[in-house]
Structure 1
Amino acid sequence: MKCLQIKRIHHIQICIPTGEENKARQFYSQILGLEEIEKPDALKANGGLWFTVADIELHIGTETHSGISKRHPAFEVENLDIIKKHFIEQNVSIKEETQIPGMKRFSFYDPFQNRIEFVELTSV
């Protein structure tokens, strides 16, 4: 597919049980020495925390471990709208994600139920 140009991994999301943010913060900040970064306001109600690791982000989400996991890699791409149109034409179900300032994004599942997110950075 010529319109798919992956630039880099933007972030990886792992998950912890709901309500365990303080335990995760202690481990990832104090033991691993990662720098915590603020989540966008639109996503704070979901719980969890974000960290910076080298030039990517580590997102730690919360979940109850019932159903399909939110764990996923997110790839930074160019031409997100063209990619989305191509996926729809190929009958790939996409999920519109909560939009956050400076970024357009959507996610989808591969045939094996692995969640993948594509993001395109925009000007704020």
Structure 2
Amino acid sequence: MLDISRLDHVLITIPLNTREEAKDFYTKELLLEEIPGNHPNGAIWIQMGDIELHIREEDAHQNNSARHPAFVVKDLEAVIAFLQSSNIEISYSSLIEGRKRCFFRDPWGNRFELIEFTQ
């Protein structure tokens, strides 16, 4: 069972070489707050209410886009076991301090991230 407690963030993608333009749009035009840090894959993290918007450059012709929503779960290992019992492939990405996380795709290629906060 996916014991989801809340939405944590949504990752959207922008064309390659538009990072600074995107950063200016979200922080200077929309006046949203950037979350400072050295985030995975050069992503920009923006605070939007009680969730985050993650923005990352991606080649428009790339298969299996990185776009995804991320959900917080209470017991990531139990969720992974549940997904694997249904033969759903699990993948992992870079480490982020204070979080355990994994990814999976639905049958249509949509990507989902599951997070358990450890701190």
TM-score by length of 2: 0.93
User: What is aligned with 1:54?
Assistant: 49
Give, as a single letter, the amino acid of the residue that structure 1 aligns with 2:100.
K
Match status 1:19 vs 2:17: yes
Aligned to 1:104: 100
Code of the residue aligned with 2:53 in structure 1: it is L
SS in 1 for 2:109: coil
Q: Which runs of 4+ in 1 moved over 3 A?
A: none
What do the CA deviations read for 1:40-71 (whole angstroms, capped 9, x no partner)?
Answer: 45x2xx22311111011100011112212111
Equivalent AA in structure 1 for residue 4 of structure 2: I
The Cα shift of 1:85 comes to 1.1
Number of residue-to-residue matches in the alignment: 118
Shift of 1:38: 2.1
User: Which whole-Å CA distance do the structure 2 matches of 1:40 and 1:110 have between them?
Assistant: 29
Q: Which residue in 1 is equivalent to 2:111? A: 115
* Among candidates 77, 83, 94, match of residue 81 of structure 1: 77
Compare the two structures and name the one with the higher strand fraction: 1
Q: Structure 2: state its 5+ residue gaps.
A: none
SS at match of 2:91: strand
Q: Distance in 1 between matches of 2:85 and 2:17?
A: 40
2:66–2:111 CA contact under 8 A, matched in 1: yes
Unaligned runs of 5+ in 1: none
- Structure 2: which amino acid aligns with 1:32? L
TM-score with structure 1 setting the length: 0.89
The answer (yes or no) to whether the contact 2:3–2:79 under 8 Å persists in 1 is: no
Q: CA RMSD in A?
A: 1.2
